Copies of this chain bind each other. A is one copy, B any other.
Amino acid sequence: MFSSKPYLDINKLVKWNLEFDLGLTNKSVKKGDVFLKEGQPCKHQYYILKGFVRVYYLDLEGNQITHWFCADDAIITSPFSYVKGERNILYFEAMEDTELVLISAPQLNTLIQHVPELGEGMRQMNAEFAMILSRRIMSIHTQTAEERYLNLMEQHPLLFQKAKLSQIASFLGITQQSLSRIRKNL
């Protein structure tokens, strides 16, 4: 769905971590683990070395609504909490065994002081992220659920091996029954 590779090379990050004594921490999570929950402040950006993560939140009835999926080389955070210090409402769930590198805001700032051009990269990365979300709003406003489903199938076929259809349905903004009906009608 999103890769940070054009903006932050993980090999360089590991090198910088030693060179500038950033103190980055690694974290391994098992399939099924929810490593960030609603109400827990999100103090880090999580670089996914390897694995697959689903970000979701709960609606008023308590249903899980998938907000996005993230694979290798993506960076995820809960912007509400990480950037603005607001109460975190997102859950981060490992859909398979996942290796993470945690980067705190102070660590990122330190790194950018040493490597100023990375600041530009991270700025662009955030801008690209906004762009992806813009596209998604546009697709909601101009495409039917069936079209969005077919696009997703085409662009992220692996997703359908890793995520439940109910999780994909809520990502598409429909119920699992509707998704099932769409699939039936090919």
Contact = CB atoms under 8 A, between A and B. Distances in A.
Interface of A: 57, 59-60, 65, 67, 79-80, 82-84, 109, 112-113, 116, 119-120, 122-124, 126-131, 133-134, 136-138, 140-142, 170, 173
A65 B139 CA distance: 11
- Taking each of A59, A122, A123, which has the highest tally of chain B beta carbons within 10 Å of its own beta carbon? A123
A127 B79 contact: yes
- Taking each of A65, A83, A113, A138, which has the highest tally of chain B beta carbons within 10 Å of its own beta carbon? A83
Contacts of A142: 59-60, 65
- Taking each of A60, A122, A133, A170, which has the highest tally of chain B beta carbons within 10 Å of its own beta carbon? A133
A67 B59 CA distance: 25
A67 B116 contact: no
16 contacts: A59-B141, A67-B137, A79-B127, A79-B128, A79-B130, A79-B131, A79-B134, A80-B131, A80-B134, A83-B131, A116-B119, A119-B119, A119-B120, A123-B123, A133-B137, A140-B140
A3 B131 CA distance: 18
A112 B130 CA distance: 21
B122 A173 contact: no
Given A79-B130, A83-B128, A133-B133, 6 more contacts: A60-B142, A79-B134, A83-B124, A112-B120, A119-B119, A126-B127
Nearest to A120: B109
- Taking each of A57, A109, A120, A136, which has the highest tally of chain B beta carbons within 10 Å of its own beta carbon? A120
A82 B130 CA distance: 13
Contact of A173 (B57, B67, B127, B141): B141
B128 A57 contact: no
Nearest to A59: B142
